[in-house]
Amino acid sequence: MSKSGAKKIQAIRGMNDLLPSDSPRWQFFEAKVRTLMQRYGFDEIRMPIVEQTALFARSIGEVTDIVEKEMYTFEDRNGDSLTLRPEGTASCLRAAMEHGLLYNQTQRLWYQGPMFRHERPQKGRYRQFHQVGVEAYGFDGPDIDAEVILLSARLWQELGLSEHVTLELNSLGSLEARAAYRETLVAYFNEHRALLDEDSLRRLESNPLRILDSKNPDMAAMLDAAPQLLEHLDDESREHFEALKRMLEAAGVQYVINPRLVRGLDYYSRTVFEWTTTALGSQGTVCAGGRYDGLVEQLGGKPTPAVGFAMGIERLILLLDTLALVPSEALGGSDVYLLALDDSATTEALTLAERLRSELPELALTLHCGGGSFKSRMKKADKSSARIALLLGEDEVASGSVTVKFLRDDREQRQINQRELATILPELLTR
RNA sequence: GUGGAUGUAGCUCAGUGGUAGAGCCCCGGAUUGUGGCUCCGGUGGUCGUGGGUUCGAUCCCCAUCAUCCACCCCA
């Protein structure tokens, strides 16, 4: 509260602080992801948050909502148009191409970090949000499609989410087949123009496939009778899709074919998929991706097949939270709280803490700082997650010992020689 | 960009046209070196911001900002 009356500065709308009480679940999630990627042979890549605006315009599609109205775009001091990345696929591909990672070789990459889209925030949707992305380059068969889907399925399993998410699957066909289907569809919609709502009329120009996704009940019958994407696939895409389905079945992964699953970004072709949940309100997609075989060429590289997906970390954490799936032992905190009984032993407490940290590198020890009454020091020990409090008073200093008090178990406290602490403390903590 | 709801203590929320309260939290004490339970006391708010009506507004009116939810779109 300032007396000056100056306006409070707050965080930008839709950009959230991650508070100390939140970060343990993020770390829990991130640790799961990191080891999983390693187990599947995917290597981490890190890209800048800012790119040339043209990268996104050329990859995501000029007429998509993201590019048209959701990007944080600004001019650099030298007049270049720069953009805060709205997604990771384009950046990842740019980096891989720029450093020759696609030259005569395949790549399996993953990344994690903030993305930016200027949308109205709501539950599970923020202007700065975080994604984990997975991209595989140079594989054209359905095995890699299955592999990345299985990777995601295993993550749900490890997080305890399997029962709460559904895999939706579709194929968009080759870019040529998709373009042909698009014309058929536009012709159909034009025949039934009178039934289209305002949004759909707009999409008829921009992205007619998305009309299939409409939730408007008045259009349901007309949409049901519309030409089906899956019936207009080219033979190669059809075989690819059938093979993928067989592989998923062999691996025991359940899926639902959703012929209206289209994905919003222009670069997708063939396989597209989404993992959805009903537990998060209207932002039900927690992970989505697919194939984008044409994108490398579109960005000026040699034709290179590619497949990938991105998951929304906020949404997944929200889901873990609502389902109470973050184990309490993952919540971190200290093992031991070391306190001087009064100010006379402050220095001894400090040096003892340092000695223990040298002798027991695995130990999480919080040293009481800031004085206060003995009672308040004990209260802080209690508030901490520590199972053991180490007390250091005049008597202990005089005898070179420390009092060990158990804060969570019904055990007698005891006095231990400071020199024996490093060997005894780990035992006391495991029992 | 559109619609709806909500802004009172650090948090969760009551409340009234006569300048505010509870619970939790925090601090101190009951208990000179022993936390959690209990009891007592205390700190903390220009009632989102700006304007209007009024003798007087936290309350009524207008505007604005923010948050949440939904639409759109997306992870």
The answer to whether A140 CB is within 7 Å of strand B is no
Q: What is the tally of helices (H) and strands (E) in chain A?
A: 15, 16
Between residue 276 and residue 315 of chain A, the positions with Cβ below 7 Å from nucleic chain B are: 281-288, 310-312, 314-315
State the pLDDT at residue A6.
52
Q: Which residues from the 354-393 window of protein chain A have CB within 7 angstroms of nucleic acid chain B?
A: 372-376, 378-383, 391, 393
Contacts of A417 by beta carbon, 8 Å cutoff, 6+ apart: A400, A401
Continuous H helices in A251-366: 295-298, 313-322, 346-359
Burial class of residue A281 (count of CB atoms within 10 Å of its CB; 0-12, 13-18, 19+): exposed
HSE (side-chain half, CA atoms, 13 Å) at A86: 26
CA of A378 to C1' of B34 (A): 7
Contact indicator for A90, A51 with CB cutoff of 8 Å: yes
How far CA A192 is from CA of A15, A119, A200, A221, A345, in Å, comes to 42, 32, 11, 11, 85
Amino acid in position A280:
L
Residue A211 confidence (pLDDT)? 86
- Alpha-carbon distance of A376 to A390, in angstroms, equals 15
Give all domains of chain A, ordered by start, each with its CATH number. Answer: 23-174+234-322 (3.30.930.10), 333-426 (3.40.50.800)
A208 CA, B73 C1': separation in Å?
15
The answer for A305, left when phi > 0, alpha when psi is -120 to 50, beta otherwise, is beta
* Contact flag, residue A21 CB and nucleic strand B, below 7 A: no
B68 nearest neighbour residue (CA to C1'): A122
Task: Report yes or no for ipTM above 0.90.
Answer: no
Asked whether strand B has any atom less than 7 Å from the CB of A168, the reply is no
Residue A397: strand pairing partners: none
CA dihedral (A241, A245, A251, A253) positive or negative: positive
Distance CA A132, CA A140 (A): 23
The DSSP secondary structure of A80-105, one letter per residue, reads -EEEE-S-SHHHHHHHHHHTTTTTTS
The closest nt to A316, taking CA to C1', is B75
Nearest nt to the A383 alpha carbon by C1':
B35
Output the tens digit of pLDDT for each of chain A's 431 residues. Answer: 333 345 677 888 899 988 888 888 999 999 999 999 999 999 999 999 999 999 998 888 777 788 778 899 999 999 999 999 999 999 999 999 999 999 999 999 999 999 999 999 998 999 999 999 999 999 999 999 999 999 999 999 999 999 999 999 999 999 888 888 988 999 999 998 888 887 788 888 777 888 887 777 788 888 888 898 889 999 999 999 999 999 999 999 999 999 888 876 778 889 999 999 988 877 889 999 999 998 999 999 999 999 999 999 999 999 998 888 888 777 778 899 999 998 889 999 999 999 999 999 999 999 999 888 888 899 999 998 899 999 999 999 999 999 999 999 889 999 999 999 999 999 999 87
Q: Which helix (H) or strand (E) holds A178?
A: helix A175-191
Rounded Cα distance between A115 and A94, Å, is 16
Cα angle A398, A401, A405 (rounded to 5 degrees) comes to: 125
CA of A2 to C1' of B52 (A): 27
Q: Which nucleotide is nearest to A275 (CA to C1')?
A: B75
**Which residues from the 72-101 window of protein chain A have CB within 7 angstroms of nucleic acid chain B?**
87
CA A70 to chain centre: 20
